[in-house]
Structure 1
Amino acid sequence: MPSTTARVRRLSFWSIIVGVAILALKFIAWWLTGSVALFSDAMESIVNIVASGIAWYAIRLSAKPADAGHPFGHHKAEYFSAVLEGVLIVVAALLILHEAALAFLVPRAISAPGPGLAVTALAAVANGAWAAVLIREGRRARSPALVADGRHLWSDVVTSAGVIAGLLLALATGWLWLDPLLAMLVALSVLWHGWHLVRSSVQGLMDAAVDPVDLAEIERVIATNSEEALEFHDLKTREAGRVRFIEFHLVLPSQMTVEHSHRICDRIEHALAKEIPGARVTIHVEPAHKAKNGAAKNGNGVGRPV
């Protein structure tokens, strides 16, 4: 069975192929209709392809083992790809707004709407199915680049659905100004998505802590596997791509041997590695008088439940 890293690489590569196919369908729809709203939909797909290519490279780079220049590995490379994808989304939105403004000045009739909307609907369904695969597998593999790619595609599906509904309304009413208006709404939606993507990725680059649910699980695993320890404190976590760094202080009886302390630390590290995907654990062992809880300092209790 292929490793998680190999599966993520394969999915990121196929995302480029799928993106090219979706782009071809959307440009056919635009060519058939001349709709500026469908043009904006196709422009976003160009960004999808470029972003998928960046994600593919970033995933390959993040899988490189640690070296002398990068002793903690290359895991954050995926966050850079997500930030760059957000920037590309903003560029695409500005191009869409420019085209929509021109269409407002010179309204364009929509030709062959039936075939064009049918092709767009087909592209949206295919995009949605692939986005669901990327988000599901990206979460399972804890790959920010894969999840970001999937979310971007899903936002594309939502905008495509809105464009189709809006164009049907424009055709029913004869209000041609709805076409460029839809394009502008697509651009604003794309801008919002780009901002959200950049913001979440910057959080990763800033060494944000794991979410509260994961933090509670980490605390539970430490407490369950810390027999003979007096307490643990100063727990710190951070995420870097698919890796979660965990460090804390473990207070042990002062008379305990180094070998015995080492066995306890090994047990905790193995338990965290089993229960917390991508865990990298650092434990600082301290003697009893370093405990922050009064009872634990006297060897009679636990500072933080263990």
Structure 2
Amino acid sequence: MEREKTIWIRISFIVSFVLLIIKFYSYYITNSTAILTDALESIVNVVAAGFATYSIYLSSKPRDENHPYGHGKIEFFSAGVEGTLIILAGLFIIYQSIYSFFFPSTLDNLFEGILLITISGTVNGVLGLILQRRGKSLNSITLEASGKHLMTDTLTSFLLILGVLVILVTGYQFLDSIIAVIFSFYILFSGYGLVRKSVAGLMDELDPTAIDSTVKTINQKRKPSWIDIHNMRVQQYGGDRHIDLHLTLPYYYDLKQVHDEVEELEHALEDAWPGIMEVFVHADPCIPDKCCHYCQIIDCHVRKIPIDTKIEWTSLNMSKNQKHYHDIIKQ
């Protein structure tokens, strides 16, 4: 898995470097500020791909004494760096556009420039789509961020082509700066999205997708002896996922039975995740007077109260730091 991530990000770096040369050549022959916006974003592509290569290498290293949770969080940092670079490029484009509006240059060879941007945009689009799909299947936020960035680059490239075509047809060269400013705001918005996602990951913000998939797996493997699951925490760092939860078991189970139940739950979660899964389960004894209402063990020999409820486990009630008898759901 890590090898495949490295291969794709290296391909992204090489392609981005080649397209960078093509786009700057296009700007050189046209003097178009709008085309310069595309070229500047390609610099971001190259720098981001280089940083992403290192982050994927680092995130693949096993956990050690200094990093007991592994190195997966570097991928959030990588996405943040890429987003910051995009924002800086957008701000520079606004400056350059305003300057060019008041001190315009003659535009030349627009048709040739359009052709070169079309080729580079198409290549970026294909690569970006592949990176996004592989990033999702490999649980890599770095690949996904790179793919999203390239797809954004593709969209801006084709919209840019449309704008330059308008300039070519109408001859209104002042539109060059206006088009560049419009694209710069879109680039700023895209960069903000990546930075926001990066900060959320670094701050361990709740990840609904990770929690929902964990709840789904537990419900699929649910056993009557698993009386209650609560105080569940799910964290994901790159392709690594860490889960902490409390599992309520019959109070009369001996140590071996408790160990077997805990191990079965851990294996169920680990087998459902393609990356590295680390599960910590704290076993709690049931409280007969309070848990009997929803305990699903039919032949329980110490039951004091008949079953009248089945708790539906959801991401909301499993995350609460309390047993479910505090919030019984009547069916």
**2:178: which partner in 1?**
181
Q: Which amino acid aligns with 1:136?
A: R
Task: Give the superposed CA RMSD.
Answer: 2.0
**2:325: which partner in 1?**
none
Q: 1:251 aligns with which of 236, 248, 252?
A: 248
**Structure 2 CA distance for aligned equivalents of residues 161 and 45 of structure 1:** 15
SS in 2 for 1:280: strand
Question: TM-score of the superposition, structure 2-length normalised?
Answer: 0.86
**2:79: which partner in 1?**
82
SS in 2 for 1:25: helix
Q: 1:296: Cα distance to partner?
A: 4.6
Give a deviation string over 1:272-305, Cα, whole Å, max 9, x none: 1122333321111010129974525775657745
Residues 282 and 182 (structure 1 numbering): CA distance in 2 closer, same or farther, change over 3 Å?
same
Q: 1:135 aligns with which of 132, 136, 139?
A: 132
1:189-228 equivalences in 2 (<5 Å): 189-212=186-209, 214-227=210-223, 228=225
SS in 2 for 1:246: strand
**Structure 2 CA distance for aligned equivalents of residues 176 and 259 of structure 1:** 79
Asked if the contact 1:138–1:147 (Cα under 8 Å) also holds between the matched residues in 2, the reply is yes
Asked if the contact 1:291–1:303 (Cα under 8 Å) also holds between the matched residues in 2, the reply is no
Structure 1's unaligned 5+ residue stretches are: none
Question: TM-score of the superposition, structure 1-length normalised?
Answer: 0.93
Q: Which amino acid aligns with 1:264?
A: E
Q: Which runs of 4+ in 1 moved over 4 A?
A: 290-294, 296-303
**Structure 2 CA distance for aligned equivalents of residues 16 and 93 of structure 1:** 21
Q: 1:282 aligns with which of 280, 283, 300?
A: 280
Q: 1:159: Cα distance to partner?
A: 0.8
Shifted more, 260-269 versus 144-153: the winner is 260-269
Q: 2:237 aligns with which of 237, 240, 256?
A: 240
SS in 1 for 2:189: helix
Asked if the contact 2:5–2:56 (Cα under 8 Å) also holds between the matched residues in 1, the reply is yes
**Structure 1 CA distance for aligned equivalents of residues 26 and 39 of structure 2:** 9
**Structure 2 CA distance for aligned equivalents of residues 136 and 276 of structure 1:** 17
SS in 1 for 2:63: coil
SS in 2 for 1:250: strand
Q: 1:201: Cα distance to partner?
A: 1.2
Q: 1:122: Cα distance to partner?
A: 0.3
Asked if the contact 2:34–2:160 (Cα under 8 Å) also holds between the matched residues in 1, the reply is yes
Asked if the contact 2:217–2:268 (Cα under 8 Å) also holds between the matched residues in 1, the reply is yes
Q: Which amino acid aligns with 1:222?
A: I
Give the share of equivalent positions with the same residue, in percent.
33
- When the two structures are aligned, how many residues end up with a matched partner? 302
1:83-98 equivalences in 2 (<5 Å): 83-98=80-95
**1:119: which partner in 2?**
116
Asked if the contact 2:294–2:311 (Cα under 8 Å) also holds between the matched residues in 1, the reply is no
Structure 2's unaligned 5+ residue stretches are: 296-301, 314-331
Does residue 71 of structure 1 match 2:68? yes
1:95-174 equivalences in 2 (<5 Å): 95-174=92-171
SS in 2 for 1:111: coil
**Structure 2 CA distance for aligned equivalents of residues 290 and 142 of structure 1:** 42
**Structure 2 CA distance for aligned equivalents of residues 223 and 91 of structure 1:** 46
**2:260: which partner in 1?**
263
